[in-house]
Chain A
Amino acid sequence: MSNLKTITVTVNGKHYTRDVEPRLLLSDFIRHHLGLTGTHVGCEHGVCGTCTVLFDGESVRSCLMFAVQSDGHEVTTVESLGDIDNLHPLQEAFMEAHAVQCGFCTSGFLMSLIPFLEENPDPTEEEIRDALAGNLCRCTGYQHIVDAVKLAAENMAVQS
């Protein structure tokens, strides 16, 4: 394509310079150009929250942004959290509380919750439910996710 734009973006601490079409969605850039497929795409119209990533530390829906908007910014995806043998406390709590079923929406929940727990390390159940309301899950009915967030908050408080 003739109208490619060169962007430089920091994703999970690593710098990437890529030529992209202006219309390329940030979600597609992350998944298909950078190969970071832990971020999933559920609706492509900004409702389900599955594609949530951190943009300069704030959770955003990557399907509602263009890749070119990330030029010069910092994006953080689920791959930045723990790894399989060393889970992040939030991931550990999701496993412990059985907050994952099909696992498709999970990354979006995690990336919504990371800044939430930073801002509110000791949330009430009602605050947790409010924080989760921007992410849809069709498998769990949310109860075990709520349990996981409570557990994560407790464990992170002990660790810090």
Chain B
Amino acid sequence: MTKKYLGQRITRNEDPRMLTGQALFVDDVEIPGMLHAAFLRSDYAHARILSIDVSAACNRPGVVAVYTAEDMGDFWKPGPLLVPAPRGIEGAFFHARTQIPMARDKVRHVGEPMAVVIGESRYLAEDALADIVVDLEPLEAVADLERALDPDAPLVHDDMESNLGSFVPQRKGDYEAAREQADLVIQRRIVIDRGAAAAMENRVLVAHWDAKSQEMTIWDTTQAPIPLRNGLAGMLGLAEHQVRVIAPFIGGAFGPKIMMFQPEEVLLPWATMKLNRPIKWIEDRRENFVATTQERGQIHDAESALTKDGHILGVKDVFLHDSGAYDPYGLTVPLNSQNHVMGCYDIPSYYSELKMVFTNKMIVTPVRGAGRPQGIFVIERLLDIAAKELDIDRAELRRRNNLQPDAFPHNHKIIDQAFAEFVIDSGNYPATLARALDMIEYEKFIKEEQPALRAEGRHVGIGVVAFIETTGVGPYEGARVTIEASGKVSVATGVGTQGQGHFTAFAQIVADQLGVDVRDVHVVTGDTAHFHWGTGTFASRGAVVAANAINAAAKGVRVKVLKLASKVLGAPEEELELADGMVRVADIPDQSIGLGELAVLANPMRGAVEPGSEPGLEATDYFGPQYGATANGTHAMILEVDVETMMVEIKRYVVVEDCGTIINPLILEGQVHGGVSLGIGNSYYEQLVYDDNGQLLNGSFMDYLIPRSTDMPPRIEIGHEVTPSPLNPLGTKGAGEAGAIPVPSLFAQAVEDALYDYDLEVLEMPLSPNRLFELCYQKGS
């Protein structure tokens, strides 16, 4: 098989539709007779519901129905626990308290739905929200993580003894013994606050129950159409085949759209069956800020023990993780943090306590990075502080502690998000680091350029940090590949697509296996009517798990093609080649048959076929990795701080990325760019500011700043290292989240270096110009 497309910069199959406004997004779905939903959400973070009077709303012209929890009867129940807690960790516990479709007795966060209005238009439904009279008794709210664990703190869940939702201690080796032997122990408190995913498309849903055909169709901005279909069918008492979930083009997701059985997702399908009319709900941006899941809030008390030559002997980290009001996504995020503290380093001993805390804030589920940026921030900050204390160059300190290329598979010996020991499959960390240092011209900058700039009174700093990203986790994905009578190829897989270029990257793999033009491979993702086995798009796994399933299915078709063509052409299979949409005898080019013609022969209309033969040139296959592949990288940047305004200008930004085999460098680079831009937001622009009452103070794009074109570096320079993963046939590792992960660590280091004369230590994220000013001047510089 010649690899014509794998690894090539192929422009995307899906772009012409997107560029001309012809791609279907959920809000584009229009069905005659469609109603519109609007949700009445709590303005209080914590309050008891005394009464809800919807009578005036019901009487408003154009309102079809108003529902509260009371109307839902037995259908009202907490959502399923999407990710269970890992078993077998000594001393660990986890209390599941999952979200509810509408608040019944009390509200636990601002934005929690209390009633839904279904009306003839979105405008009318929203009007009617103002007619609903709710009597709430405000309760003291807990917004602060530490306050939430005070013995006298109000309880988010009244049936619990405290707000401690989970406790997970994990240990590797003997940290206390390591501490005894250490020449240097560094202890710091590190605080990371929340940010939003802020996909440009808010959540949108259309639910359409057709009573005559007894079929439910749901268009949903979800990352996981198949599990959603299966769960909703169960809840609604329907067979799975009666429910079709379509995730068409999705306008960005970045994590929160993997959260399933959200109140709106449960209520609309229920209501369309009651009313027998299609219903649409369009989330507005304000709702997206208060009612779509968020991430990142953690407080770490971390320490590291080192020898005087900078070798890490051990790390200890006790941290609080903000879960918000419920914990439907289990421990995925804080377990990732706990794991990634060990990063790409050889750390002989580690002790970590994870404490997951309920607060009266929106629920936390993964946002691009998913706990990893926090873990990386902790270890990279500890290393930076050690470098200063020991007077060892930052890059050199990382080099000394890097896992070496012969260390793999390396078992970090604690349990990870996939409930197995955290094993890193492969990598070449020193090479990645060296390449980044080379690209940014680290030595030259430190020795020549920076002293000259400082002499001019300028504050220009350099940063270099390394990171890993666990990717491509199981359990599995599947795909079906079919050669059609036209000679074109159809591919269906269960994962959804939110901009990752699946219609092209997956097509490249199939085109190589079957010798067809990449433009002749038509990929369908995220439609349960086309493929109904799979889990979803998350954890940077599309190019690992789904791509390998597609590769396997395409290989299956190739086997069928060769077998049939061998008969038809009268030549042994070994002499056949697939190219240009044909099968031909290698040395006799005119002895050939088109794939379309072959597909017709494989699916005869009349006559006999061999007993046991399957019709068509089609195969379905699945892939599940033994464990997740771990990508890695090094980021480096040079930035200048204007000490008058504390505005920063990123002058250079270098990424060296190792995500194994590259399917499409163009798409990969796009993923890296986007990740870096979120990371820059997480570092200097984006912070969800909650007050002590659990009120979000900056829930709009006027107040919550996401990076603009002018906030980005002039160029993100990318170098690729390629260490194929031994865990899958393609050798891929995920890349979707990587770009975002190390940026806060990098930013902190570079800012400290730029502000060398302020003796600054950055122990928090996100920063902002105001906050950086405070940090500089609270030291009295």
Contact = CB atoms under 8 A, between A and B. Distances in A.
Interface of A: 21, 23-24, 28, 31-32, 35-45, 47-48, 50, 77-79, 81-85, 87, 91, 94-96, 98, 100-107, 110, 125, 128-130, 132-133, 135-146
Nearest to B706: A136
Nearest to B127: A23
Contacts, number: 181
Interface of B: 11-12, 14-23, 25, 27-28, 30, 122-123, 198-202, 249-254, 284-285, 498-501, 666-667, 669-670, 673-678, 700-702, 706-710, 712, 714-716, 739
Contact of A95 (B12, B284, B669, B701): B12
A50 B701 CA distance: 12
| Main SS at interface, chain B | loop
Contacts of A138: 198-200, 252, 254, 674, 677-678, 706
Contacts of A146: 709
Closest 9 CB pairs of A and B: A38-B21, A104-B251, A102-B499, A103-B18, A141-B673, A101-B499, A141-B677, A47-B701, A132-B709
A90 to B, nearest CB: 9
A96 B23 CA distance: 18
A103 B709 contact: no
Contacts of B702: 45, 47
Given A87-B16, A136-B706, A141-B712, 4 more contacts: A38-B22, A102-B252, A102-B253, A140-B673
Nearest to A37: B28
A129 B678 CA distance: 18
A42 B285 contact: yes
5 contacts: A84-B16, A101-B674, A102-B249, A104-B200, A138-B678
Contact of B200 (A23, A50, A95): A50
A82 B20 contact: yes
A85 B675 CA distance: 32
Contacts of B30: 32, 35
Nearest to B670: A98
Most buried by B among A31, A36, A39, A102: A102
| Main SS at interface, chain A | loop
B200 A47 contact: no
A25 to B, nearest CB: 9
Given A37-B27, A144-B673, A79 B20 contact: yes
A96 B254 CA distance: 24
A91 B19 contact: yes
Contacts of A125: 714
Contacts of B712: 129, 141-143
B444 to A, nearest CB: 24
Contacts of A35: 30
Contacts of A105: 200, 251
A133 B708 CA distance: 5
B284 A141 contact: no
B201 A102 contact: yes
A144 B670 CA distance: 7
A100 B251 contact: no
Contacts of B670: 98, 101, 139-140, 144
Contact of B673 (A39, A96, A103, A143): A143
B201 A95 contact: no
Given A37-B27, A45-B701, A139-B499, A95 B11 contact: yes
A102 B14 CA distance: 10
B21 A79 contact: yes
B424 to A, nearest CB: 27
Given A133-B710, A136-B701, A140-B673, A98 B11 contact: yes
A100 B709 contact: no
Contacts of A145: 709
Nearest to A21: B123
A96 B11 contact: yes
Nearest to A45: B700
Contacts of B666: 98
A91 B22 CA distance: 13
Contacts of A42: 200-202, 251, 285
A95 B15 contact: yes
Given A38-B21, A77-B21, A87-B16, A104 B201 contact: yes
Contacts of B674: 101, 138-141
A77 B27 CA distance: 17
Nearest to B499: A102
A91 B678 CA distance: 25
Contacts of B251: 40, 42, 102-105
